[in-house]
Every structure is written in structure tokens, then in C-alpha cells.
A and B are shown apart, each in its own frame.
Chain A
Amino acid sequence: MSTLVIAEHDNASLKAATLNAVTAAQALGADIDVLVAGANCGAAADEAAKIAGVGKVLVADNAAYEHQLAENVSLLVAEVGGAYDNIVAPATSNGKNTMPRVAALLDVAQISDIISVESADTFKRPIYAGNVIATVQSSDAKKVITVRTTAFDAAPAEGGSAAVEAVGAAHDAGISSFVGEEVAVSDRPELTSASIVISGGRGMQNGENFTLLEAVADKLGAAIGASRAAVDAGFVPNDMQVGQTGKIVAPDLYIAVGISGAIQHLAGMKDSKVIVAINKDEDAPIFQVADYGLVADLFEALPELSSSL
């Protein structure tokens, strides 16, 4: 048995999500190769070669793959993946974008967002916003899988010494192009891999008030997240959204401030180790999942919190 893991990277460096996908791949019990598709992505490939447990790193270095356009990358993955029993990618926006295309090209189902590997063909995955966990069995000979990164530990980034091999296959479907991007730059830890996350909701009232969260985040080295209501109201950008349809996080500590606790929000954070809720409404549903609940006005609690840390 063999498994191909699709690396998440920005050409210059490997993203942590790749490490979680490798751990999920290990649970499948097969040999693991990693595919790095990009342009001038040698540095990312070298990093992938150091991951413990990786047999071989395949690098497809071509301008057509620079921006991970799904139309191009899926053709590559379907071709290279043809030789493997499993194709695994993290359920990041890239993985979600490309992998179903790969599955359809190979005429197999995709198993989305798995949280555990029960056996080589049986997996657990949350459905209905995580209100239910389904155990599903695949009858496909080849399995295309995306992995919920928070459910698998990161494989050690160092310790391996895989061979790096170039893949010639150049696929440019010629039907899509990259126009531009607006990527948020932040010195804070990445939301999905931070060990502490503090999120604000509609209760924050406006974007300026997020500086109150920042003050606490600075003290704790935390990432900052938000509810959809806060994103919708334009307080903060979309990449900060935590939830069923945003990012899934499971830090050691999650602090929800001015967030009511709708099921769609809980779906994205209820696997956090310790949950703190600060809300002025003592009946807010967020308190049902909080280990420590503080009924208070956030405009008083946050300054006090940052000064006492």
C-alpha cells in the first residue's frame, strides 16, 4: 500500500497543515510520499524531505502550479496519484478546492474532513456542523481523502531524509488564471495552529474594539479569530472566521468574547482543550461548552484581563 500526501505550501515554505496530513496518512499504514506542486518551490520540497516518515518527495515545479489553480493541479495529482492507493491532503482551502476535482477525475468518492482512521477503508468524519460523527466505509480501490488538521498531531518536521525527485508532468488546462490576491499579513501565530486563540463576536461592536483583544493576544502570544457575525459586519477580514464554514481550530485555550455560541460557531472550536467564554448574557449558549465562564461586560473584562497577565 502506498499513500501520496499533497503538500500545503506557499512555494517558499511548507505549511504546518502538511504535517497533520502526514500523521493521518501514517494511520493508513502505508508508505508515504509527498507531492509538492508549485513554481520555484524547491525550498518547500526540501522542507518536506525532512519530515519524519516520508519516503520520497515528488516536486512538480511549473508556472502552471504557482497559484495552486485547481484546474491545473488536479490534472497533475490525478496523474501522479494514479500509482497510489490513497491520496491525502489537509482540508485547507487549497485541499478543499482541488481534491474533489481529483476524485472526480479518478471516478471515486472523496472522503472529506476525516477526524480519524478506523482502518484502511473506514473513517470518522463530522457531519451536520459536528452535531453528529459519521463512520463511513469506502468501497473505492483508491481513496481520496481530506484531513481535518486539528484532529491529527503534527508529524515531526525534522528527522527524515527523503529523496527529492522531479516530476516532469506539466498540466495547464488553460481555462483559468490567477488575477490577484489580498493576503492578510500578521505577526501573530496562524489561527489554525496557534496554541491559544482569542475570538471576538458581534459583541465587540466594531473593528476598532478588536484592539482590546489584541492587547490580550499580545500578552498570551495568541492568534485572533472571530465569529461570522463579526466578519459579516465588517469588523474584521474573512480569514479570521471560526466555524462550520470558516476555520476549524482546536487550541489548548480558546477564549470567546462577545460570542453567543451558535452551533455553526461551536462546530469550529468545540474541540479546544480549554474554553473560556466572556459574555454579559448569562444564558448565552456558549457557556454550555465553556470550562470557565465569566458573565461580564467585555469592555470592562478585557482591559482588566490584559493588565493582569
Chain B
Amino acid sequence: MKVLVAVKRVVDYNVKVRAKADGSDVDLNNVKMAINPFCEIAVEEAVRLKEAGVATEVVAVSIGDKSCQEQIRTALALGADRGIQVETEGSVEPLVVAKLLKGVVEKEQPQLVILGKQSIDGDNNQTGQMLGALTGMAQGTFASEVAVDGDKVNVTREIDGGLQTVGLNLPAIVTTDLRLNEPRYASLPNIMKAKKKPLDVFTPADLGVEVTSHLTTLKVEPPAERQAGIKVESVADLVDKLKNEAKVI
């Protein structure tokens, strides 16, 4: 079976992003970019399915300007077979990403689409579920275990109260949580090999999708700063402060 993996180019998770002084946007000048950590886990899961003989081909897709080809190459170096870029200008909203992915799904007819649960820039947590609605596929979100069994897949999900397992008809959508797996590092030979793997580029028009915008960001600002705290000398001191100063216990 074919597996489609969606990978997004985002700010590296170690970067502490700041708002620009004029509040127009975040400052991404000279900031390190990377593959969204949840997408990396998605790629790893797809590659493991291939190594286990369950998947036959892994296709990595990213939506964005030319620079997102870097993240597609990362996915190829981690073991994906082929890449697809859908060329857009600037960032597109999850609903549009989902429509574009639906276009790719119609072309590629994968049995499984694996996405991250959340992009760590917009913290949206929407795209996989939206793709599910648009394609009429079932979804296993926030997955910590994926088990393909014939024409079904069982997905164990991290939910508020613990874990839930759902059974989904294939084709289906999975979104990854952090504990699904631990992604491998790309080896140098694999990084070299990835440069030669095929990477096709489509436009939204090729997929019959109009890029629209439903949300406008009016401003971005830093969160309220916390007052600087103090160090206490001892446990007794701490208990006294909590009782008599903060009055929280």
C-alpha cells in the first residue's frame, strides 16, 4: 500500500520566536528552519511501515514556497521514496492546505495519509481532521500506536483521560503524537541519495484548488510578562510565603 506523508517547514523547535516591534508578524529573519517535529514522526512511521513490508511506497508532500523542498529532501533522506511540492506563496491556512492535500490524495490514491497532529508555529491542530472531512476518510488523531491489519487500521490515541483505540477503514488518516516513535537521524549517504530521488512540483491550479484566506492576522504581540520572582532559602520559608504572602495554601 502507498503511504502519503505531509511535512511542513517550520521554525526549529528550539528557537524562541519573538514578535516584530511593529506587531505585524513574528520575526523570522535568520531563524533556523526545520521539519515540524510531528511531521518527522509521521515520516518515521511511514518508513517503518515500509520496512515492515506493510507499505510499498512512501510519498512526502509539502505545501509552501520553494524553500520547503529542503524539508521534502529531509523526508527523502529519512527514507521516503518520492516528493511532491505544492507551490504556494507565503503560508496558507489549514483549510486550504487540506484542500490541496485532497488534490494530491486524488492523484496518488494512498491507503494511509500520515500528518503531524499540530504544526508548532501556528499550533492549529486542524489539517488532518479537515482532510478527513474533505475526503470522507476516517481519522486516528494524536496517535501513539498504528497497527495496519488487512483493510483496516487500529490507531491508539492519546486523549485527555488516557488512551483510546479506534478501528478505521482504509484509506484513512493518522495524525501523530510525540510518543508514536523516535525518528532516526538521516545518514550522510542517505542525504546524498535523497538528492537524486524524484520531486514533482504542482501548482494549486493543477489540483483545481483556489487559495483563499478566511483569517487575517491583525497583530502579533508578546504574551504578558511575569513579574520577576524571588528565591527562597528553605522549605520553611517557601511554606511561609505561600501561606502568608501569596495566600494560595
| Total interface residues in chain B, CB < 8 Å | 80
Q: Mark B205-249, 1 if CB is under 8 A from A, else 0.
A: 000000001111111111100110111101110110110001011
Residue of B nearest to A295 (CB): B231
Q: By DSSP majority rule, is chain B's interface helix, strand, loop, or mixed?
A: mixed
Cα(A187)–Cα(B87), bound, Å: 52
Contact of B120 among A93, A105, A129, A139 (CB under 8 A): A129
Q: Tell me the residues in window 242-285 of chain A with beta carbons closer than 8 Å to chain B beta carbons.
A: 244-245, 247, 252-253, 263-264, 270, 273-276, 282
Closest Cβ–Cβ distance, residue A34 to chain B (whole Å) = 19
Cα(A174)–Cα(B169), bound, Å: 9
Please indicate the chain A residues that have their CB under 8 angstroms from the CB of B163 in the complex. Answer: 181-183, 238
Interface pair B179/A232, CB less than 8 Å apart: yes
Interface pair A100/B130, CB less than 8 Å apart: yes
Interface pair A101/B129, CB less than 8 Å apart: yes
Closest Cβ–Cβ distance, residue A15 to chain B (whole Å) = 9
Cα(A173)–Cα(B142), bound, Å: 20
Closest Cβ–Cβ distance, residue B33 to chain A (whole Å) = 13
Asked if B71 is at the interface (CB within 8 A of a chain A CB), the reply is no
With A101-B132, A179-B165: A130-B235 Cβ-Cβ less than 8 Å: no
Interface pair B11/A128, CB less than 8 Å apart: yes
Contact of A293 among B17, B162, B232 (CB under 8 A): B232
Asked if B190 is at the interface (CB within 8 A of a chain A CB), the reply is no
Asked if A4 is at the interface (CB within 8 A of a chain B CB), the reply is no
Asked if B160 is at the interface (CB within 8 A of a chain A CB), the reply is yes
Asked if A43 is at the interface (CB within 8 A of a chain B CB), the reply is no
Interface pair B219/A134, CB less than 8 Å apart: yes
Please indicate the chain A residues that have their CB under 8 angstroms from the CB of B220 in the complex. Answer: 127, 132-135
Interface pair B223/A130, CB less than 8 Å apart: yes
Q: Tell me the residues in window 71-129 of chain B with beta carbons closer than 8 Å to chain A beta carbons.
A: 93-95, 98, 117-118, 120-129
Contact of A104 among B11, B134, B218 (CB under 8 A): B134
Interface pair B126/A136, CB less than 8 Å apart: no
Cα(A290)–Cα(B178), bound, Å: 27
Interface pair A111/B215, CB less than 8 Å apart: yes
Interface pair B160/A247, CB less than 8 Å apart: yes
Q: Mark A141-170, 1 if CB is under 8 A from B, else 0.
A: 000000000000000000000000000000
Cα(A166)–Cα(B242), bound, Å: 49
Asked if B62 is at the interface (CB within 8 A of a chain A CB), the reply is no
Cα(A102)–Cα(B129), bound, Å: 9
Interface pair A292/B218, CB less than 8 Å apart: no
Interface pair A183/B126, CB less than 8 Å apart: no
Cα(A48)–Cα(B131), bound, Å: 32
Please indicate the chain B residues that have their CB under 8 angstroms from the CB of A111 in the complex. Answer: 215
Contact of B133 among A105, A127, A252, A291 (CB under 8 A): A105
Closest Cβ–Cβ distance, residue A186 to chain B (whole Å) = 10
Q: Tell me the residues in window 54-99 of chain A with beta carbons closer than 8 Å to chain B beta carbons.
A: 67, 69-71, 74, 92-94, 96-99
Q: Tell me the residues in window 13-31 of chain B with beta carbons closer than 8 Å to chain A beta carbons.
A: 13, 16-19, 26
Closest Cβ–Cβ distance, residue B10 to chain A (whole Å) = 9
Cα(A252)–Cα(B247), bound, Å: 10
21 pairs across A/B with beta carbons < 8 Å?
A101-B132, A104-B134, A110-B94, A112-B126, A113-B125, A132-B26, A133-B220, A133-B221, A133-B222, A133-B223, A134-B219, A135-B217, A136-B215, A175-B137, A175-B172, A176-B167, A181-B164, A196-B249, A245-B177, A274-B242, A274-B246
Q: A70-B139, A184-B162 are in contact. List 10 more A-B contacts (CB 8 A).
A: A70-B141, A108-B95, A109-B215, A128-B123, A135-B220, A176-B166, A228-B178, A238-B144, A245-B118, A252-B248
